Amino acid sequence: MFRFLSGFGSYWMLMSKVFSKPEKPSIYYRQTMKELVSLGLRSIGIVTIISFFMGAVITLQTAYNTENPIYPSYLIGLGARDSIILEFSSTIVALILAGKVGSNIASEIGTMRVTEQIDALELMGVNSASYIILPKVVATVLFNPFLTLISIITGIMGGLIVGTAADVVTSQAYIYGIQYAFIPYYITYSLIKTVIFAFIITTVSAHQGYNVEGGSLEVGRASTKAVVYSSVTLLLFNVILTQLLLS
Amino acid sequence: MIRAEHISKSFGDRKVLTDISALFEPGKTNLIIGKSGSGKTVFLKCLVGLLEVDEGKIWYNDVLFTGLDFHGRKEIRKQMGMLFQGSALFDSMSVEENVRFPLDMFTSMSSEEKLERVNFCLGRVNIINSNKLFPSELSGGMKKRVAIARAIALKPRFLFCDEPNSGLDPKTSIVIDELIREITVELNMTTIVNTHDMNSVMENGEKIIFIEEGEKCWEGNRNEILKSDCRILNDFVFANSLARQLKESSK
């Protein structure tokens, strides 16, 4: 309990340093652009591949579980659409990004800590927490909603391509299904969750990396902890946000 | 000038520094020597404010550094440069970007002026035609020299070097020592060097402080060290037979 409270306190102390006024906004802007490429653009590939196949599997599973003449086949498209928008493209993609981006952030910052690069920044009079972490937070919070949209589109496309190729649904029925009883708010709900998940992944992982003490072994441990803590926090917030936004 | 008064520092129950006082003068290369684990690096980190002292005061000229908050220290830190043991170059930046970083952060110089300053600093440490290389492409000696170039980019008044010769061959060590000494005189800086390299002690020791188990045991210069009767100091400095012969011959 004491460890949890002390970790929680140190997290908020770090956040107060991160969200202080930037020393030179132009430098922060440049850093944010670099992070957009490193954390955002370089995640498009994995998000696209995983979303395509998950969309395909969701469609196939929905089809095999609704093999009944009573159910119209367009329900396969509808089921796949809602599963992808409501849960897969926000939460599951966030969990995947917690693994990819979270470990990347924790190991990068942890290595900077053990090789005294953070000390070098502090010694120059630079707010190291803000300089290193704020651009990452801004980049992921801005870019992850695009990843979610890419995931939604790719997932639904995956369902269409594989569903029709496996002959479990016709393209007309699938397309009719994804348009049927569409609630635009579900997209908003998904994007709100994505923004909050992006903040959690980045800040929890950065906190683990920033407080590394020791050497490469501890950097590895921090990287693992970053993924575990950000995933658990993310799942907890998923429950809270679902209740708040959909009730 | 940097003045440390009665500095003490503990980590939990372990006392690392006990009541250390010292005066470091400008234009001189001041050395802190001692065994590994004697508290040299902790003392240096206390002086620059990377670690908070438990007791004691640190003055930078007439400013009480230990009494300042983050923003107050920031002004003094702009006058500091530091060479870390592992160089601490930013991995994601090229040599040029590393040296330009403090200029980007704290000056309103134009790009041309910055580039001119970067090239001057790199030239001063004999790094030529390597602007676009990354730290992973540099040798240990080159990394140290780039780190010195970055440290002097803002023309600091105080330079701190934590074991600048660690991991370097004797010849490169001498080059780094000479560079630190020359730059100190050129910029009239107060330079403090942590070392246990005896070549550095004999070459650069204009003022030497010897720390043993967190306590200051001896203070003097490279000439006085040869005549010292301090047993612990002699055991450390004249650890090998060649050094002992040198001491005998100096008597």
pLDDT tens, position by position, for chain A (247 residues)? 777 888 889 999 999 999 988 888 899 999 999 999 999 999 999 999 999 999 999 999 999 988 888 888 899 999 999 999 999 999 999 999 999 999 999 999 999 999 999 999 999 989 999 999 999 999 999 999 999 999 999 999 999 999 999 999 999 999 999 999 999 999 999 999 999 999 999 999 999 999 999 889 999 999 999 999 999 999 999 999 999 998 8
Please state which CATH class domain B1-79+156-219 belongs to. Answer: alpha beta
How crowded is residue B90: how many other Cβ atoms within 10 Å of its Cβ?
A: 17
Residues of A in Cβ contact (< 8 Å) with B86 = 115-116
pLDDT class for B247, splitting at 50, 70, 90?
A: low
Contact present, A31 and A24 (Cβ < 8 Å): no
- Token pair, residue B132, equals 């676009």
Tokens matching residue B179: 């560079």
Residue B222 pLDDT: 82
- The larger pLDDT score, comparing residue B37 to residue A77, is at A77
Q: Give B80 to chain A, closest Cα distance, Å.
A: 7
How much is the average pLDDT of B70-82? Answer: 87
CA atoms of B1 and B60, how far apart (whole Å): 6
Residue carrying the six token digits 């220290």: B73
Inter-chain touch A116–B48, beta carbons under 8 Å: no
Let me know if residue A233 belongs to a domain.
yes
Q: B226: which 2 tokens?
A: 């040869």
Distance CA A128, CA A120 (A): 9
* C-alpha dihedral sign at B52, B57, B62, B64: positive
Name A9's Cβ contacts closer than 8 Å, sequence gap at least 6: none
Q: Which of B50, B89, B101 sits opposite A123 (nearest CB)?
A: B50
Q: Does some domain include residue A17?
A: no
Asked if B97 and B132 count as a contact pair (C-beta separation under 8 A), the reply is no
Nearest to B88 among A27, A117, A126 (CB): A117
B198 residue type, one letter: M
Could you give the 3-state DSSP secondary structure of residue A67?
coil
Token representation of residue B127: 């790094």
Mean pLDDT throughout B135-149? 91
Interface mutation vs chain B, best among A117, A126, A127, A130, most B CBs within 10 Å: A117
Chain B residues with beta carbon closer than 8 angstroms to that of A119: 45, 50, 84, 88
Residue B144 token pair: 């140290």
DSSP-assigned beta bridge partners for residue B80? B158
Question: For position A121, what pLDDT does the model report?
Answer: 93
Overall number of domains in chain A: 1
pLDDT of residue B226: 78
Answer whether residue A16 is part of any domain. no
Residue A9 domain-assigned? Answer: no
What pLDDT shows up at residue B2? Answer: 93
Which pLDDT belongs to residue B74?
85
Give the residue, A172 or B200, on which the prediction is more confident. A172
Task: Check residue B86 and give its pLDDT.
Answer: 87
CB A152 within 8 Å of CB A86: no
- In this complex, the residue of A24, A120, A126 whose CB is nearest that of residue B88 is A120
Does residue A6 sit within a domain? no
CB B44 within 8 A of CB B160: yes
Chain B: give the shortest CA distance to residue A119, in Å.
7
pLDDT for the residue B62: 87
**Residues carrying CATH 3.40.50.300, chain B:** 1-79+156-219
- Residues B125/B148, Cβ–Cβ less than 8 Å: yes
- Position B177 scores a pLDDT of 87
Residue B65 pLDDT class (50, 70, 90 cuts) = very high
For chain A, which residues lie within 8 Å of any Cβ of chain B, measuring from their own Cβ? 23-24, 27, 34, 111-112, 115-117, 119-120, 122-127
Residue A212 domain flag: yes
pLDDT of residue B135: 94
Mean pLDDT, residues B93-99 taken together: 95
Cα B65 from Cα B20, distance rounded (Å): 16
CA gap A224, A106 in Å, rounded: 9
Question: A222: domain range?
Answer: 22-246
Angstrom CA distances, A103 to A70, A90, A100, B53, stand at 47, 19, 6, 34
Is A3 a domain residue? no
| Contacts (Cβ under 8 Å, ≥6 apart) of A89 | A51, A148, A149, A151, A152, A155, A190, A194
Share of chain B above pLDDT 90, in %: 45
Closest Cα in chain A, distance from residue B34 (Å): 21
pLDDT for residue B36: 85
Q: Which residue of A has its CA nearest to B72?
A: A125
pLDDT of residue B47: 93
DSSP chain B: -EEEEEEEEEETTEEEEEEEEEEE-TTSEEEEE--TTSSHHHHHHHHHTSS--SEEEEEETTEEGGG--HHHHHHHHTTEEEE-TT----TTS-HHHHHHHHHHHH----HHHHHHHHHHHHHHTT--S-TT--GGGS-HHHHHHHHHHHHHTT--SEEEEESTTTT--HHHHHHHHHHHHHHHHHHT-EEEEEE--HHHHHHH-SEEEEEETTEEEEEE-HHHHHH---HHHHHHHT-SHHHHHHHHHH-
Closest chain B residue to the Cα of A122, Cα to Cα: B50
User: Interface of chain B against chain A, CB under 8 Å?
Assistant: 45, 48-50, 70, 73-75, 77-78, 80, 82, 84-86, 88-92, 101-102, 104-106
- Share of residues in chain B with pLDDT > 70 (%): 98
Euclidean distance between CA atoms B85 and B167, whole angstroms = 9
Domain-located, residue A78: yes
Q: Give the phi and the psi of residue B139 in degrees, each rounded to 5.
A: -80, 170
- Contacts for A86 with CB less than 8 Å, ≥ 6 apart: A186, A189, A190
Mapped onto helix, strand or coil, the DSSP state of residue A8 is: helix
| Average confidence score pLDDT of chain B | 88
10 Å CB burial of residue A67 (0-12, 13-18, 19+) is: exposed
Q: How many residues does chain B have?
A: 251
Confidence class of residue B251 from pLDDT cuts 50, 70 and 90? low
Contacts of B77 in chain A (CB under 8 A): 123-125
User: Is residue B103's pLDDT more than 80?
Assistant: yes
Q: What three-state secondary structure class fits A115?
A: coil
pLDDT over 90 (residue B125): no
CA distance A113 to A97: 23
**Which chain B residue has the Cα nearest residue A17?**
B70
